[in-house]
Structure 1
Amino acid sequence: MDKVSSRTSTDPEKNVDASSVGSDQPVVNSELERVVWRKLDVWILPVVTIFYLLSFLDRTNIGNAKVAGLLTDLKMTPRQYSIALTVTYVPYIAAELPSNLLLKIVGPNLMLPAMLTLWGVVTTCQGTVKTYGGLLACRFFLGLLEGGVFPGLVLYLSFFYPRLRLQTRIAAFFSAASISGAFGGIMAYGIINLKGKDGHSGWQWIFIIEGAITVLFGLVSFALLPSSPDHARFFNEEEKAYVKSKLKEDGAIQDEVSDSFSWGEVGKAFTSVHVIIVGIIFFFSGVVLYSLAYFTPSIVQSLGFTAAKAQLMSVPPFSVAFVVTMITAYISDRYQCRGWVTVFASVLCTVGFAMFLGSTNHHVQYGSLFLSIPGTYLMAPAISTWNANNAAPHVRRATAIAIGFIMTNSGGILATWLLGSLSPPPRYTKATKILLIFSVLMGFFAIVNIVWLKRENNKKKATRTHLTRSQEAPGLGDKSAWFVYSL
């Protein structure tokens, strides 16, 4: 394999514009190109996908438990249910940034499986609580242990995949969220039939069985996750070198000095314009996402279905979301259009909520879920990848990713109240109006970000042209001019 050095930047918060980097040429090896990404897709991606499936399932299965009798058995009001959901998000948000900054130091091969195993134990304990206070305690520790999962998994994948291949992989594991919505409904439908067995209610068995599955996989995963390409047992030395060369060529990794911890890089992430704009989109997206994740079974039940039937009827919209998410992720990676995919997602959400709000026909309202649910579930991997693509070196990228998910889960707090005590069924009128407005704003801020990034890229193009005409040596002068933002 021919190795060619890649240009790095002192301020590498940009994507490599390989076609314009002077005489440097990208590493090319068609045989290894086929092999290494296929191996990662076989060995890493399925494990990461199951991680997030279990994470989302264990966090949102309380929605299924609610329909199965949780509120009645624990004598909870809708307001108390919203409080229980909110309690999850406070430690969840607090854990995201420190968890992401520690991930590389501790080692993702140890930290991620440990979190998975421990929150599985907490989920199982939820199935044994007898009081509202016990449920609150479990929800707190669940949030604390799960807080670093999604940002950690996005960061972890960036250790292995170049940016141009990243969204399809993020979409693959995030699609586990939509799968968990479908899978959770099917499991809950079967599990609630265990009501009364060994003295446990149906909702308790939902937590016990799903938590036990998480613990088991968490223990197994200690043997499955490598910490980096250098420690991947399924790679030979040539394949390890090739993956690292592609990551360096792509700007995804830098040298040890650039990737070492720096508070300055943390600060730069908080002041980056594109991180702020995408953070706003993350907030709106989080409100929509968690509103649907927690309350879809309740929404479907309010349309006239029984509790058991509502679990099953929540499955089809999430199944469609999985398909749409994967198709749009492929298009986004193929044509590098993260921003326009985000705009498309906002359009789907807007139309879906408008249908639900504007009609009293239960068939139309149920059909609206086939637009709003796929819309919000395809948006998350698009903006997650967009955020990660435009932040480097490692510490700045880790911080930017964490900021995005802090904003998402801040939106989750609002979501727990919107369709809870603030907007009662069956119409959820106030909540639907707010979700409709937020859907429009997601598209608006995506367009603002596209315009801003494009303007910055034009400035860099002009600078590169000046450097070329002045025959300034590559690697000298304004190095950041050789990098462009991902649109």
Structure 2
Amino acid sequence: MSVDHQDVSPPLPSSSCSSRATVTSHDPVGYDLRHTNERYRAEHDRISFESYGMLSPLLSGPPHAIHNGGNGNGIERQDSEISSFDNEKEAQRINRKMDRYLLPLLSLLYLFNGLDRGNIGNAQTQGFTDDIGALPDDLNLAVSLFFVTFVLFQMPSAAVGQWLGPSTWLPIMMLCWGTMTMIQAFIWGKAALITTRLLIGVFEAGFYPTCIIYLGSFYSRFDLATRIGLFYGQYAIASAFSGGLSYAIFQISQAWLKPWQLLFLIEGVLTCILGIVAWLWLPTRPMGAWFLSHDERQFVADRVNGVESGDVAYSSLTRRDFIETLRDWKLWFVLVFNICASVPVTAFSVFLPLIVQGMGHEAVEANLMSVPPAVCGAVGLYLFASSSDRHKERGWHIVGALVVALGGLVGLIGSVSSAAKYAALCVFLFGSYVPPPLTVAWLSGNTPTAGKRALVVGANGLGNLAGAIGSQLYRAEYAPGYKLPLVVTLGFVGVALTGFVAYRYTLRAVNARRAAIRKLKSAEQIETERVDTARYADRKWVFVYDL
């Protein structure tokens, strides 16, 4: 297939690009550049790999990670390589097939990631710190320090996942933190408590960004937020499931172990079993997806990569990817506000049973009563995420969720009766779980190169610094009402709300400035900018940011 100046990319399935972007000398800017971002992302992945192919020794991978077709420049392909799925109905059918085979297991894995992170809060309702010879405030310190290693190791762990491949790295991480969870059942003293939490933080750190990278290798950009929402929603479900599971385990009568020891052992064993299942079940990449036909695999790879590659390059990290990630203004701009928005989620994932207990419920009952608010969080996340994908919009959905959370928080602080507080808690969590996953979908969609995208998603994990803040807010001295911590949380949510509004308007202003630049350029200049490597990824003025 030959390619002339008028059309510089091969035909794509309609699901990934609803309109072909054609550049002509008569109309250099009369096309929707937003629809060209998928093509641009894939083409730039090839260019950046060829131009900056000297990889870090740590991250160097097998030579088959990038495959160029046709004449070697990644633009020309053989017709036989192009997927035959050319309508939205077929694309959605394949999406549903992947939803059946990938999402349930990945969601279950992330549920146990949340369980093993937050079960220490359930254990505390059964006198965990008293039994191990520690103080209640030692629990807050241990939770804070967990987030230190959890945050510090996010980017390195995501890079390892990019190198080894998610289907290998995810099971390894699960086996490691599942083992540490079981060891936690037999610790004694403050030092052992802190050590185990630090190590669990190390092993859990890369799980979420690696899963996002993995999902991004199967789903197109505006199919992704709904899936991330369903996936991240397991963090909320984990709080609900943890409450119900803890309630059931705490009913078991036996003389050998404390209830909290049994909790850690059961959840740790289940995590290790699931890690082995994941090792056997998850395909390495789209072209190795055993549940898809050959044509379906090719379609998925074409849709994500857009051009030449028949597979996803997990090892294509370059030095320039690292440099450009460090200087990516939009990442560091939004990260501050993502931290603020994440304070409620990270704090309540651990301390929700204690907050519910403070409303007048007994210790065991509090675990059960923490289920409905957590379910509300999962439902809210799914509704906002699916709407975000349907309308192809991120910013106002995040802002809307923060408004809901703000309203619930005001009700939680101002209410007098336990019933009103409990209802306000449900409203608060309905909006609280939305911003973090939509932020990562937003950043991922606005980062067109695969290597940098992995690093940006990993760096966004710094938002989990909110956990260190939240764990110090909800201290035992503020029980049972936790009024001061809730007021401080209100301030964080308010700052996040303001920041996300400013972030969206900033991206809009950048788009307007780039549109003005394009109006002054010829078709040849636009095409040169698209394929040239002087400006990298989304720094090019042909790239249009999603809002």
TM value normalised by structure 2: 0.81
375-384 vs 477-486, which deviates more? 477-486
1:441 corresponds to 2:498: no
Q: How do residues 16-415 of structure 1 correspond to structure 2 at under 5 angstroms? A: 20-22=21-23, 29-30=86-87, 32-194=90-252, 197-249=254-306, 260-406=316-462, 408-415=463-470
Q: Structure 1: how far apart are the matches of 2:322 and 2:267? A: 37
Using the TM superposition, give the Cα deviation of residue 259 of structure 1 relative to its aligned residue in structure 2, in angstroms: 7.5
1:458 corresponds to 2:516: no
Q: Normalized per residue, which structure has more helix?
A: 1
Choose which of 511, 523, 527 in structure 2 pairs with 1:475: 527
Q: Contact 1:60 / 1:294 at 8 angstroms: preserved in 2?
A: yes
Using the TM superposition, give the Cα deviation of residue 117 of structure 1 relative to its aligned residue in structure 2, in angstroms: 1.5
Q: Structure 2: how far apart are the matches of 1:273 and 1:306? A: 48
Query: CA 1:253–1:368 in 2, change beyond 3 Å: closer, same or farther?
Result: farther
Q: Structure 2: how far apart are the matches of 1:109 and 1:134? A: 32
**Which letter does structure 1 place at the counterpart of 2:429?**
I
Using the TM superposition, give the Cα deviation of residue 19 of structure 1 relative to its aligned residue in structure 2, in angstroms: 6.1
**Which letter does structure 2 place at the counterpart of 1:207?**
F
CA deviations over 1:417-445 (Å, ceiling 9, x no partner):
10015x51122122111100111111111
Q: Structure 1: how far apart are the matches of 2:20 and 2:509? A: 19
Using the TM superposition, give the Cα deviation of residue 54 of structure 1 relative to its aligned residue in structure 2, in angstroms: 0.5
**Which letter does structure 2 place at the counterpart of 1:399?**
L
Q: Structure 2: how far apart are the matches of 1:48 and 1:287? A: 24
Choose which of 482, 492, 496 in structure 2 pairs with 1:428: 482
Aligned to 1:311, the other structure's residue is in SS state helix
Q: Contact 2:287 / 2:310 at 8 angstroms: preserved in 1?
A: no
Aligned to 1:475, the other structure's residue is in SS state helix
Using the TM superposition, give the Cα deviation of residue 393 of structure 1 relative to its aligned residue in structure 2, in angstroms: 1.1
Query: CA 1:365–1:204 in 2, change beyond 3 Å: closer, same or farther?
Result: same
438-447 vs 15-24, which deviates more? 15-24
Using the TM superposition, give the Cα deviation of residue 250 of structure 1 relative to its aligned residue in structure 2, in angstroms: 9.5
Query: CA 1:277–1:40 in 2, change beyond 3 Å: closer, same or farther?
Result: same
**Which letter does structure 1 place at the counterpart of 2:291?**
F
Q: Structure 1: how far apart are the matches of 2:425 and 2:485? A: 15
Q: How many residues align?
A: 473
Q: Contact 2:185 / 2:261 at 8 angstroms: preserved in 1?
A: yes
CA deviations over 1:207-258 (Å, ceiling 9, x no partner):
11111111111111101111211111122222222112211239999996x9
C-alpha RMSD of matched pairs (Å):
2.7
Q: Contact 1:113 / 1:222 at 8 angstroms: preserved in 2?
A: yes
CA deviations over 1:378-427 (Å, ceiling 9, x no partner):
22221121121111312211111111112x22111111110015x51122
1:418 corresponds to 2:473: yes
- Percent identity, please: 27
Query: CA 1:312–1:451 in 2, change beyond 3 Å: closer, same or farther?
Result: same
111-120 vs 241-250, which deviates more? 241-250
Query: CA 1:114–1:424 in 2, change beyond 3 Å: closer, same or farther?
Result: same
Q: Structure 2: how far apart are the matches of 1:158 and 1:5? A: 24
Residue in 2 that maps onto 1:11: none
Unmatched 5+ stretches in structure 2: 11-15, 25-34, 40-82, 532-539
Using the TM superposition, give the Cα deviation of residue 134 of structure 1 relative to its aligned residue in structure 2, in angstroms: 2.5
238-247 vs 435-444, which deviates more? 238-247
Using the TM superposition, give the Cα deviation of residue 41 of structure 1 relative to its aligned residue in structure 2, in angstroms: 0.9
Q: Contact 2:317 / 2:452 at 8 angstroms: preserved in 1?
A: no
Using the TM superposition, give the Cα deviation of residue 18 of structure 1 relative to its aligned residue in structure 2, in angstroms: 5.4
270-279 vs 331-340, which deviates more? 270-279
**Which letter does structure 2 place at the counterpart of 1:324?**
G
CA deviations over 1:26-65 (Å, ceiling 9, x no partner):
8861264133212211111112111110101110011111
Query: CA 1:477–1:179 in 2, change beyond 3 Å: closer, same or farther?
Result: closer
Using the TM superposition, give the Cα deviation of residue 128 of structure 1 relative to its aligned residue in structure 2, in angstroms: 2.2
**Which letter does structure 1 place at the counterpart of 2:400?**
F
Q: Contact 2:287 / 2:311 at 8 angstroms: preserved in 1?
A: no
Q: Contact 2:150 / 2:201 at 8 angstroms: preserved in 1?
A: yes
Q: Contact 2:106 / 2:231 at 8 angstroms: preserved in 1?
A: yes
CA deviations over 1:86-115 (Å, ceiling 9, x no partner):
221222112111111121211211111111
Q: Structure 2: how far apart are the matches of 1:271 and 1:427? A: 43
Q: Structure 2: how far apart are the matches of 1:201 and 1:239? A: 51
Using the TM superposition, give the Cα deviation of residue 160 of structure 1 relative to its aligned residue in structure 2, in angstroms: 1.1
**Which letter does structure 2 place at the counterpart of 1:434?**
V
Query: CA 1:135–1:333 in 2, change beyond 3 Å: closer, same or farther?
Result: same
TM value normalised by structure 1: 0.90
CA deviations over 1:62-98 (Å, ceiling 9, x no partner):
1111112212212332221111112212221121111
CA deviations over 1:326-372 (Å, ceiling 9, x no partner):
11111100112211111012112211221122233222211111122
Q: Contact 2:301 / 2:312 at 8 angstroms: preserved in 1?
A: no
Q: Structure 2: how far apart are the matches of 1:16 and 1:446? A: 28
**Which letter does structure 1 place at the counterpart of 2:143?**
L
Q: Structure 2: how far apart are the matches of 1:262 and 1:79? A: 44
